[in-house]
Amino acid sequence: MSIIQNNSDFLFLYEAINCNPNGDPDQENKPRMDYDTQTNLVTDTRLKRYIRDYFMQEGFDVFVAMEEGSKVNPDTKFVAVVERLLAEPSKATQFFEGNEEMAKSYAEVIKEKKDSEGVFKALQTKKNKKLNYFILEKLVRDTFLDIRLFGSAFAVKEFTRAYTGPVQINWGYSLNKVYQIDSNSIVTIMNDDSSTFGKDYRVHYSLLSFHGVVNKHAAKTTGLSDNDMEKFRDGIWNAIPSLPTRSKLNQYPKLYMEIIYNDGYHNGHFGDLRNLVKCEPHDKIGDYKKVRNYNDLMVDFSALEKLIADNKGGAIKDVIIKTAEGISFNS
C-alpha cells in the first residue's frame, strides 16, 4: 500500500440535537462551552474516541483501547501487545518473516531468555535496541490503524519513541451560538450493586465544526497509506451516529470536505477553513436561542466554494466532498 504523497486540510461539520456533545468534568459534566462567545466546544480527543470505537466495531486493530475490559495506559497496553504477539512461536515466526537479520536476533533473545522471564522483559536490553525498534515500527505500520493516523508516544524501557500523527485535528466549536436546555432533571445511573444520581445537561442545537490536517511528511514515519485515509474518511463520517449512547443520541454528520494540495503546498495554506463558513439564524427564527435544527440556520459556503474554484489546478490538486441529504456544496 502506497504512503500518501500530498498534504491536505479538511473541514468536518456535524450537528448535535438535544444532547450533550462533550461533557466537561470540571463543570459537573455540563456541555463544554466558551461562554464569552456562547459557543459549544468539543475536544479533538472526543472526536478521535468516536473514530477509534468505530474502527473497533469494524474489526480493525486499535492501540488506544481497553485491555481485558479495563482501561490501561499506553505503556501497559504495549507490553501486553508484544507479549501476546510473540509468546507463540508460530506467530513470532510469521512476524519476522522476510527479515532474516531480525529473525536471527529474536531467536538469540529467546535462546538466552530465562524461564521466569516474559518475552517483553527479555527484549529490554540495550543490545536489542535495533530489534526492538523493528518490532515497534512493524506494529505501527502493519497493525494499529489509529497510530498510523493519530500517532502515539512510547516510553517503555528500550522501546522509547514518539510517533507524530499525520492526522491532527483542532478542537471543534459550534458555528452557531448554543444554549443549554433549562432542566433540573435528575437521572439514575445503575452500577453493578448500587446507583448514583446526577443532573442531565444538554444543548438545544449545535452545529459543530472541526478543522484538521493530513501531513505527508509525518505519514512517512507511521506508514499512513491511501487505504488508511479511505478508512479515516469513512470513520469520521459514520462513527458518531453509529455508536449512540443516551447522552450522545441525535448527532449526525453534515459535511466532510478535504482539500488535497499539489506538491510544494503545505498544511494550512488557506488557514482554518472554518473561517470561510458563515452561519446565522434564519430570518424566520431571528434569534439563536430559538434554533432547534439545521434548517433554522443560514449556512453559507460560498466563500469556501469560491476559494476552491479559484485555486483548482494551482494550490489545489483535488477536493473530496461528502454531504448529508439536503446540504448543497458546489466544488
Residues in Cβ contact with 168 at an 8 Å cutoff, skipping those fewer than 6 apart: 44, 212, 213, 215
**Confidence at residue 78, expressed as pLDDT on a 0 to 100 scale:** 85
- CA triple 112-116-122, angle to 5 deg: 45
User: Please, are residues 129 and 120 in contact by the beta-carbon 8 Å criterion?
Assistant: no
User: Please, are residues 106 and 92 in contact by the beta-carbon 8 Å criterion?
Assistant: yes
- pLDDT band at 85, cuts 50/70/90? confident
Mean pLDDT of 130-139: 92
**Confidence at residue 218, expressed as pLDDT on a 0 to 100 scale:** 97
Residue 300: C-alpha distances to residues 175, 297, 328 (Å): 11, 9, 10
d(CA 224, CA 217): 10
d(CA 176, CA 86): 51
Say whether pTM exceeds 0.85: yes
* Span 209-232, pLDDT tens digits: 999 999 999 999 999 999 999 999
- Given a cut of 70, is residue 194 above it in pLDDT? no
Mean pLDDT of 100-108: 94
Left, alpha or beta for 141 (phi > 0: left; psi -120 to 50: alpha)?
Answer: alpha
SS3 45: helix
**How high does pLDDT run on average in the chain?**
91
d(CA 127, CA 254): 53
Task: Compute the radius of gyration of the chain from its Cα atoms.
Answer: 23
Residue 60: C-alpha distances to residues 51, 114, 227, 287 (Å): 11, 34, 13, 44
* Span 227-253, pLDDT tens digits: 999 999 999 999 999 988 888 899 999
Helical ranges in the chain per DSSP H: 44-57, 74-86, 89-95, 100-112, 119-123, 129-142, 145-150, 216-222, 226-242, 302-311
- pLDDT band at 81, cuts 50/70/90? confident
* Span 246-278, pLDDT tens digits: 888 999 999 999 999 999 999 999 999 999 999
* Span 64-77, pLDDT tens digits: 776 656 666 777 88
- pLDDT band at 329, cuts 50/70/90? very high
d(CA 301, CA 297): 13
Cα end-to-end distance, the chain, whole Å:
29
* Span 106-120, pLDDT tens digits: 999 988 888 777 888
d(CA 114, CA 110): 8
**Confidence at residue 184, expressed as pLDDT on a 0 to 100 scale:** 63
- Given a cut of 60, is residue 190 above it in pLDDT? no
Percentage of the chain beyond pLDDT 70 is 93
* Span 152-180, pLDDT tens digits: 988 887 788 899 999 999 999 999 999 99
d(CA 275, CA 134): 43
* Span 41-59, pLDDT tens digits: 999 999 999 999 999 999 9
Of 328, 253, 222, 286, the C-alpha closest to 47 is: 253
- pLDDT band at 188, cuts 50/70/90? low
Extract long-range pairs of 119-125: CB within 8 Å, 24+ residues apart: 119/82, 119/83, 119/86, 119/87, 120/79, 120/82, 120/83, 120/86, 123/82, 123/158, 124/156, 124/157, 124/158, 124/159, 125/158
